[in-house]
Structure 1
């Protein structure tokens, strides 16, 4: 199987038909999603690996009418997203949805407002017809004052209500907030309520909105999947800490996870390179996919213009290159021995097959890279270059010997990042 994938990889630059293979519509039996037996990936209902490409759309229910919500979904699907994540509840208990309806009567969890959840139903149904997964966050830290005023039985009843209310939708992933300043029992009882009434056994995920300090598997509550969507990671040093945590978690975790990109300071006008860097580094840390976050999540008045230039325009290229290789069989390199240069080891991410016959490198800038091909299996090797910025592919050097060698990007433009695929020809 690995040889078949390698031949597919090495034909990337000659086969335009591969673009059509990169993203296909789901079939009727595609959902619900499942967890792969390896504990690191998601699969469809038939066991086929599912590369989750998610977008954060926190305020969709509060800011968008139905027509605009559909426009948002269509735009994101055209950019190769297959999932979007929304907050079920408004930002504050005093707020309402777009129709000016509150989720509860008098903020009582036992009295959900039918009109509010009817609108949620329309959104989920529209997503289902477009073969999109909807991650629904059912609790949030800004609602602690309301949830803490209720009992454990109320939390469980809230989960039961949601599971039963939306039981016909297999394209939902339920997400329960799990922050260090929230009661761990809150997650437990809401999740139990959801599981007890979810007909399709939809995945139940946990959410952290701060940079984690403990391993993925360190939580006392065991979710199927973990989302890490930081609210405050806005500096290079903070992201470096998050990236290091991500790398370590990827090596150790037996639970699928997704980490969103940072929110960058506004003075960084071109954030595309940073977003692409984080997307590829996420996959190279064995994440189950990538979670994109931009100002679109707040749906400000300019969102319809900005959605075409918020960094997501490169996600289509991201999906196509990963769909062209056996990403689900590849793991992060821990030794970095393929890169003799210590600076390269710090800057370049490496993702390899366990048999060492294929490696993918994400190179964040245009420069020559020295490779020690003696650490790979095979006698001669071939390279393929890919531009995450433009989507273009170039055939690289062929018949590279099993030795230390230097390779250079085919079009070394300043500020460009690169993907290098290097594989055995045997």
Structure 2
């Protein structure tokens, strides 16, 4: 009996150990072609993110587990969250009653607070989720008309805090570091220098650049179109670029992604904050209404087909972890637990399944695939392809004229993929030359479709979408 008990303990210990280390392919890095993220052994990684800015601050451990488990089941692979949170994160304690810093001094982190952060990061790892960790929200660098601050970071302490937090989490393989926190560096200030110093400290604390994958989360409509690339593109610490499109409909997201995609040196790009689901459009619900599932999925496909390596979804109720016991910010409608299953969130599952149904690492944007490549955001048609397949998104069900011969094979299979249901239907087989016209099953507002073309010899099909 004693030997049997020891055997059971050993099996349970092994199972727990395996559950806590799902990153068998290693931590993330930039791919060899500098367009995507992969694991250390080269396994492709698809970034399907969620913005849960207040995760560490507002949720207790049971709630955090509920949130992470649910998102993992929906196929999300990344959660963006903030250590020093946005909603009065310095002076309002977390769900366990702890503040992050002693006397708001970055050189005196409160270990009890960060043990809660530790727990959530480790729980995310159990579910195979990467935490895109912001060391601080941007109002801790400078306060503006909507940030609560206070300003605590400067050129004298940014590097030390970066080194401390980098060192604390250097052994966690499920972390990507994000600086910035929704702020545009001011002219004639030390802002850019402060972020650079924090990045240097992070790399030092994490035992080298190869263990600290870094980016920068900007505000929408920052100077120019380049998001983080406006200030840091040539900095060695910036491994990939982030954009924020903000919370208006029909932004020219594809042009912004394309602009950064074509910058040199080549670096991956992702839209880290497009319009949130259930958000007042342009912060003006009275005149413009509330965003819906169509709004969020349209951004996803336009971003990805324009060259983004992944996509971050967001929900207005979830970023703030809204509950009826908390003061609402900008009119959320659902407690965060209910908002987990809003239609747009469920449809992100289909985004991931489609994008991973074909080879990821050779995919490029290619508007030469189509004739109708100059429509505006409401009717946009956007195309991307790999060596032996192509995806073409029509935002409003407009007819698509395909210029064939862009992928391998003497013929190609054509399918309609429904982004609302995640279902594909074979249209037929066509000669891979000349021009071919395809009319979607429906057209109009909210009637978006994806035309899928692929080389029949590859036998891709859609069995993995079921």
TM-score, with normalisation over the residues of structure 1? 0.84
Report the counterpart of residue 143 of structure 1 in structure 2: 140
Q: Which moved more, 1:275-284 or 1:249-258?
A: 249-258
Match for residue 217 of structure 2 among 194, 207, 224: 207
Equivalence map 1:11-410=2 (5 Å): 27-91=22-86, 92=88, 93-144=90-141, 151-177=154-180, 179-181=184-186, 183-199=191-207, 201-212=211-222, 213-215=224-226, 217-220=229-232, 221-222=235-236, 223-230=238-245, 233-236=246-249, 239-240=251-252, 242-252=253-263, 254-259=266-271, 260-263=273-276, 264=279, 265=281, 266=285, 268-269=289-290, 271-295=292-316, 296-301=318-323, 302-309=335-342, 311-334=344-367, 336=368, 338-339=370-371, 343=375, 347-353=380-386, 355=387, 357-373=388-404, 379-400=410-431, 402-410=433-441
Post-superposition CA distance 1:351-389 (Å, at most 9, x none): 023x5x532101122343333336666543320221111
Relative to structure 1, the CA distance from residue 358 to residue 344 in structure 2 (aligned partners, 3 Å threshold; closer, same or farther) is farther
SS at match of 1:351: strand
Deviates more, 1:32-41 or 1:142-151: 142-151
Aligned-partner SS, 1:328:
coil
Provide closer, same or farther for how the CA distance between residues 89 and 310 of structure 1 changes in structure 2, counting only shifts above 3 A: farther
Partners of 2:294 and 2:152 lie apart in 1 by 45
Deviation digits for residues 135-158 of structure 1, max 9, x if unmatched? 111122221257865553421110
Answer whether contact 1:58 1:298 (CA < 8 A) is retained: yes
Contact 1:170–1:202, Cα closer than 8 Å, also in 2: no
CA contact (8 A) 2:104 2:152 kept: no
Q: How far did residue 127 of structure 1 move?
A: 0.8
- SS of equivalent residue, structure 2 residue 306: coil
Distance 1:422 1:26, change over 3 A: farther
What runs of 5+ residues in structure 2 fail to find an aligned partner? Answer: 1-19, 143-148, 324-334, 458-466
Change (3 A) 1:150 1:138: closer
Q: Deviations over 1:395-418 (max 9, x none)?
A: 112134623332223566973211
Distance in 2 (CA, whole Å) between partners of 1:299 and 1:119 is 16
1:371/1:164 CA distance change after superposition, 3 Å? closer
Q: Distance in 2 between matches of 1:307 and 1:425?
A: 38
Structure 1: 5+ residue stretches without partners: 1-24
Higher relative contact order (CA 8 A, sep 6+): 1
Q: 1:243 to 1:341 in 2, by over 3 A?
A: closer
Q: What is the alpha-carbon distance in structure 1 between the residues aligned to residue 41 and residue 407 of structure 2?
A: 33
Contact 2:51–2:81 (Cα < 8 Å) also in 1: yes
Range that drifts further, 46-55 or 94-103 = 94-103
Provide the rounded CA distance (Å) in 1 between the counterparts of 2:452 and 2:302: 15
Residue 8 of structure 1: aligned partner? none
Indicate conservation of the 8 Å contact 2:139/2:151, yes or no. Answer: no
Retained in 2: the 8 A contact 1:374–1:404?
Answer: no
Kindly state the Cα deviation for residue 187 of structure 1 after the two structures are TM-superposed. Answer: 1.3
Give the 3-state SS of the residue equivalent to 2:107 in structure 1: coil
Alignment size in residue pairs: 395
What's the CA shift string for 1:272-296, capped at 9, x where partnerless?
1121111111111221200111111
Question: SS state of the match for residue 422, structure 1?
Answer: strand
Measure the CA separation in 1 of the matches of 2:118 and 2:154: 27
